[in-house]
Amino acid sequence: MCGIIGYIGDRDASTILVQGLKRLEYRGYDSAGVATFTEGTIPVRRCLGKLENLERLLRDDPIEGKVGIGHTRWATHGRPSEENAHPHRAGKVVVIHNGIIENYLELRAHLGKLGRKFTSETDTEVISHLIEEAVLSGRDIVAATREAIAQLEGSFSIVVMHQDDPETLVAAKSATPIVIGLGEGENFIASDIPAILDHTRRVLFLEDGEMAVVRRDGVTLTTFAGEPVSREPRVVSWDPVTAQKGGYRHFLLKEIHEQPQAIIDTMRGRLLQEEGDVSLDELAGCEWATNAKRITFVACGTAWHACQVGKYFVEQIARIPSDVDYGSEFRYRDPVIEDGTVVVVVSQSGETADTLAAIEAARERGAKVIAICNVVDSSIARRADAVIYTHAGPEISVASTKAFTTQLTVLYLLGLFLARRRGVVDAEAAAPLIADLVNLPSHVEECLRRERAIEKIAKKYGDARGFLYLGRGINYPIALEGALKLKEISYIHAEGYAAGEMKHGPIALITEQVPVVVLLPKDAVYGKSLSNMKEVESRGGRIIAVTDSPSAELEDIAWEIIQVPTTNPCLLPVLLTIPMQLLAYYIAVYRGTDVDQPRNLAKSVTVE
């Protein structure tokens, strides 16, 4: 999986391909390659590692051509290597692929009996051989691709070239994204919009089960069965400049600092302060949402942590019973979906494969689905019954920051929206809750002003062999998120726990080499959390306390104190998140890791 780019036109293809792949680097990858039509052949250039290695290879051994495809790979089948990098060739057919072919072993065995020889460990190479077999039996490249994909099981987006048809690129989609960019005398194919924004804003999104035949003078869409598809292009409004670092050392730090504005953008047009209400036009007319008897949240990774907080919002504010499930587990446990259940799925990219599968499982059982995501017209957005966009803007760093806090913002809005529609909260009671949300961006700014102090703490504890994060109630998911951020980008083992669970096992891990980050707001369980801290302190633990209420008693126990502003308990998770992000960032910088593209991770997890 990862980055796909294709070009057909009159410009130098390899330049456009590499440029497009650079726009997709945020997804993470371990190898890269390109192929172009050149004087009746299709030379391929591939390399292990970063795109700078591919650029060096192309300088030493250039390829020319006006039509080509490129790919950045994140290993799923076969180790990262030049042999396993895309594009893959079988005879005159060259293919790039995102996704996983679940039945590739059976297909590989079948092709082996036909005398086919494989040069890689990948599932992708099977596709190229299937297409080549169909071509040799008399099919043109379009029909051959159609015949090949009928044999595939799993998720895939592919782009195909054939040496005898230099004026055609063929793309096909099932479960992983493909977008077609429309130009004048040239056209583009990509796995994500940023790859083509420098060249066009007119795009067509392929839906599952669709193919595109792309030529210089136009694009033809059909289903896998060959039935014509008619679809009007969309115009994308994103500005490529927003994908630049803007003077920050890393995209991650830039995106941490963008959070006040991102929260403002997420709130904009949705607050009716004078009426003490929230407006979510996306749910207008959706009585099934306001009448929900239960809400099931489904997500993966950081978005799952957001859902854990969202459960508190919906139960405490709207008084609707709620539960939270992993996208990767939801459909496999054969969930019971009762009448009146609404499933809320959360995803930054809108392409998360496990969450997409959960949508299908929910809808098969009769549930309505609300999606919360950041990417307009993403697969999840298109499949849901209603979608609420976070408006966080492009998030380039693999580790999520502003996407997470804007997800929390939308979930808070959703809780208020449902509470008002159900009559659980009246205008008078809602007014201060809305006022606190209006003040949230300035409170986040205040948290960011603690940056230098947090950087010093990071350097002090950056050599630790492990971290524990503790929180209670609504802030327990923030402890989980803080631990996830640290392990993602610094590679330090970190675990989050409910503070009350320390005495049931994790306290055995306490040493001077394992700092403990404690989220300690002045809430209903403040005293109990303080007692948990004393348990840690008495065993030699070094405590980093994050609180909105410093005290002399706390100063006696904690080695470090990070203060955040005070707000209502439902919004404190947002403020407690900011120090978690900064601490993880500066520890990663101290340790010299690849902050924006940490090892083994990808931005959009489009495979199971």
Confidence (pLDDT) at 341: 94
- CA-wise closest residue to 549 among 528, 523, 569, 573: 523
Confidence (pLDDT) at 74: 75
The pLDDT tens digits for 98-112 are: 988 889 999 999 999
DSSP per-residue string spanning 453-472: HHHHHHHHHTT-SEEEEEE-
Q: What is the mean pLDDT of residues 150-156?
A: 90
Q: Can you tell me the distance from the alpha carbon of 330 to that of 358, in angstroms, rounded to the nearest whole number?
A: 6
2 is catalytic: yes
The reply to whether 450-598 shares the fold of 246-447 is yes
Q: Which fold has domain 450-598?
A: Rossmann fold (3.40.50)
Contact 177, 24 (CB under 8 A): no
Confidence of residue 509 (pLDDT cuts 50, 70, 90): confident
Q: What is the mean pLDDT of residues 283-290?
A: 91
Strands 169-174 and 210-215, by their bridges, are antiparallel
Give 2 or 442, the one with higher predicted confidence. Answer: 442
The pLDDT tens digits for 123-149 are: 999 999 999 999 999 999 999 999 999
Sequence length of the chain is 608
User: What CATH superfamily classification does 2-241 receive?
Assistant: Aminohydrolase, N-terminal nucleophile (Ntn) domain (3.60.20.10)
Query: Of all residues in the chain, what percent carry a pLDDT higher than 90?
Result: 67
Q: Can you tell me the distance from the alpha carbon of 482 to that of 580, in angstroms, rounded to the nearest whole number?
A: 5
| Catalytic residue of the set 2, 300, 307, 447 | 2
Give 5 or 29, the one with higher predicted confidence. Answer: 5
CATH 3.40.50.10490 fits 246-447, yes or no: yes
In the sheet where 2-8 sits, what is the strand order?
44-48, 31-36, 67-73, 2-8, 187-190, 179-182, 202-205, 234-235
* Coil, strand or helix at 89: strand
- CA-wise closest residue to 281 among 291, 268, 294: 268
- CA-wise closest residue to 230 among 254, 212, 253, 244: 212
Confidence (pLDDT) at 334: 82
Q: Where are the domains of the chain?
A: 2-241, 246-447, 450-598
Contact 501, 479 (CB under 8 A): no
| Catalytic residue of the set 92, 254, 402, 603 | 603
Contact 26, 597 (CB under 8 A): yes
Furthest C-alpha separation in the chain: 83
